[in-house]
Amino acid sequence: MDFAFGPEDESFRKTARAWLAAHLAGGPDRVSGRAWERELGADGWIGLGWDRNRGRFGNRAATVTEQVVWAEEYARAQAPARVGHIGENLLAPTLLAHGDDAQRARFLPAIARGEELWCQGYSEPGAGSDLASVRTAAVRDGGGTYRITGQKIWTSLAHEADWCFVLARTAEGSQRHHGLSFLLVPMDQPGRIDVRPIRQMSGSADFNEVFFEGAVAAADHLVGGEGNGWRVAMGLLARERGVSTLVQQIGFAAELARVVQLALETGAAVEPVERDRLVGQWAALQAMRWNALRTLGGVSDPGAPSVAKLLWGGWHRSLGELAMRVRGADATVAPDDWRTDHPYELDAVQRQFLFSRADTIYGGSDEIQRTIIAERVLGLPKEFRP
């Protein structure tokens, strides 16, 4: 199926552009965080096209092309960074695919209204990219609840989230991907859930350690059935690593434009090597975009999520390095009074460089993605595991 915009899409674009202009009057810093999520939700801009039932969860009905249009206009307007994207783009499609009617009715409207924020409880200190090695345990207490004990790490937005979807081991003695379950856990459990921010080398603390000490999850908040957590978790990761990155690529285009402008200002753009690198970044971004649009157009490719993750992770890290080269030697110098608890004393180029170092690790490291492609797509012999 070809991916192309039609007259209806351009009409939708006008609507989206007008709404963003009206609600961002006064600049994108006028609103942020939860307030912005509620503004988006009030007019149905969260969860575009979740299902075919014309927005029955409070979201606005939208075709795939209209979803792309909204993402383009959102990036063009330089709207605030989203704090509800984990619930909207990861959990909601997972509930539509694997949840039951009661779970959809309970959680999707609250996400669509921008009222409940989510975080993802996957990685652990001893099981980062090797997700099948998680040790966090969930034990059914004989009644209607599970008791969860364990530790998660690199949990983005856990300090703001109302809920966490947790991959936990519900079958005692189980190994690898067997015996795992996918549970929806409320974060407001003082004494049972402890969130500790992790300070990054950029100075910010966007992700956290999360400790569960007998935290409670309702049995009817088990998604996909007990022991089926691996299947549910992999379905979610396909969305995280796959076509949802199209929105991210639109943001990347804005970052690249700023680096090009910086190169013009510093004179780096006249240097043949740096100019070649800038052109290479632009060409690679176009390739990523068309690959994502190809997937959106209905092309079946089991390796697409891993390929997409490899492409954007490496591209964004390279952009951070290029930005530093373009900026010049003074990019390596921090302010005299800079402290790691005040990250915004660094400039945008420095923050971009430091953050992008992690792009090839989080969301599934490059090594894991290459192994998935080799073993599951190309059918090569499995890597030796002691």
Residue 293, token pair as written in the block = 């649009």
Annotation marks residue 115 as catalytic: no
88-102 in b/e form (b: 16+ CB < 10 A) is bbbbbbbbeebbeee
Burial class (CB in 10 A: 0-12, 13-18, 19+), 116: buried
222-231 in b/e form (b: 16+ CB < 10 A) is bbbebbbbbe
Contact 151, 157 (CB under 8 A): no
Q: Where would I find the H helices in 92-228?
A: 92-98, 101-112
Name the nearest CA neighbour of 48 among 11, 99, 12, 8: 12
Tally Cβ neighbours within 10 Å of residue 29.
8
Name the nearest CA neighbour of 367 among 128, 159, 85: 128
Question: CA angle, 115 as apex, 158 and 62 as ends, to 5°?
Answer: 110
Phi and psi (nearest 5°) for 136? Answer: -50, 130
Q: Which amino acid is at 339?
A: R
Contact 249, 285 (CB under 8 A): yes
Residue 8, token pair as written in the block = 């209806």
Bridge pairing between strands 145-156 and 207-218: antiparallel
Q: Which one of 240, 255, 265, 274 is the catalytic residue?
A: 240
Contact 88, 111 (CB under 8 A): yes
Name the nearest CA neighbour of 184 among 146, 157, 154, 151: 146
Name the nearest CA neighbour of 46 among 112, 125, 100: 112
Q: Which residues are annotated as catalytic? A: 240
